[in-house]
Amino acid sequence: MSERLRLMAVHAHPDDESSKGAATMVRYAKEGVEVLVVTLTGGERGSILNPAMDRPEILANIGEVRRKEMAEARAILGVEQEFSGFTDSGLPEGDPLPPLPEGCFALQPLETAAEPLVRSVRSFRPHVILTYDEQGGYPHPDHIMCNKVSVEAFEAAGDPGRYPGTGDPWQPLKLYYHVSFPPQRFEAIAAVLAERGMENPFPEWMQRMRDRDVPQWDITTRVTCDEYFDTRDRALIAHATQIDPNSFWFAVPNEIQGEAWPTEDYHLARSLVDTELPEVDLFAGVHEAVRT
């Protein structure tokens, strides 16, 4: 017999869990893995990005609305979810950039910001943790802080001398970064669309990504999960204030996406178990470690 496997995904805001690694979580949950999403902030400073939801009464209660959206998305994905209780930092815009709001998540001292996540790790006892890279996937201050607290929790939760009062020590075995939008994925989708004589909706977005010149992480792990792309999209659309169902993100049928690129992709950032790269399973090497 083996211990039941556990996967934790750490995200900055409600809706991030449905746009990054959602189909992966659905697959593992259906395979019997316990899956917990930890949402670090409530998304209180998020803008309304869906024109159909851009109403004053919604904006006035955006934090409460986003919690309800998160509950619906969680149920669609079939996972558990908890909030860490921090306040969204917002995305500063302008030149020069304005200061972040006092008391927001991104301004917390690292130990203050990481303590709730250490508590969650020690309570849930995940074998694998998913998070963002050092640039946050994109340079939102909460995403960057999400990386910092995830790495801190991975390294500290197993040490009985650190974060006293947050539960019994627990050491996760693997830490992954999402590689959510690799350019080669969009190139593969564009190739299939061209073969079928269909329009590619992504060229402008692809050019913006090239212009940003963001460092690309090597994909070490590809999890096949195209069977669950429809579920991913339903969870994403549940975040109605953030997602316009008529946007270009939904312009390519999931059948074509699955044909072109049937995986969600990750970079193995830390591992305390032996594994061979490339991987096709986030729990490669973990199965043997937890077998009793």
Tell me the CATH number at 40. Answer: 3.40.50.10320
User: pLDDT of 188-199, one tens digit each?
Assistant: 999 999 999 999
The answer to the question of whether 143 is labelled as a binding residue is yes
Asked, for residue 188, whether it belongs to a domain, the answer is no
Domain assignment present for residue 241? The answer is yes
Q: How many domains does the chain have?
A: 1
Q: Is 207 inside any structural domain?
A: no
Look at residue 1 and tell me if it is in a domain: no
pLDDT in tens, 34-67: 999 999 999 999 999 999 999 999 999 999 999 9
Domain enclosing residue 131, as ranges: 6-181+217-290
The three-point CA angle 20-283-130 to 5° equals 30
**259 lies in a domain?**
yes
Is 267 annotated as a binding-site member? Answer: no
pTM for the whole structure: 0.96
Quick: pLDDT tens for 205-250: 888 877 776 778 999 999 999 999 999 999 999 999 999 999 988 9
140 is in an annotated binding site: no
Q: What integer pLDDT is reported at residue 54 of this predicted model? A: 93
pLDDT number for residue 11: 98
**212 domain-assigned:** no
Assign 97 a pLDDT band (cuts: 50, 70, 90).
confident
181-204 burial, b if ≥16 CB within 10 A, otherwise e? bbeebbeebbebbeeeeeebbbee
Q: Is residue 208 part of a domain?
A: no
Look at strands 128-131 and 221-224 and give their pairing: unpaired
Residue 205 in any domain: the answer is no
CB 33 within 8 A of CB 53: no
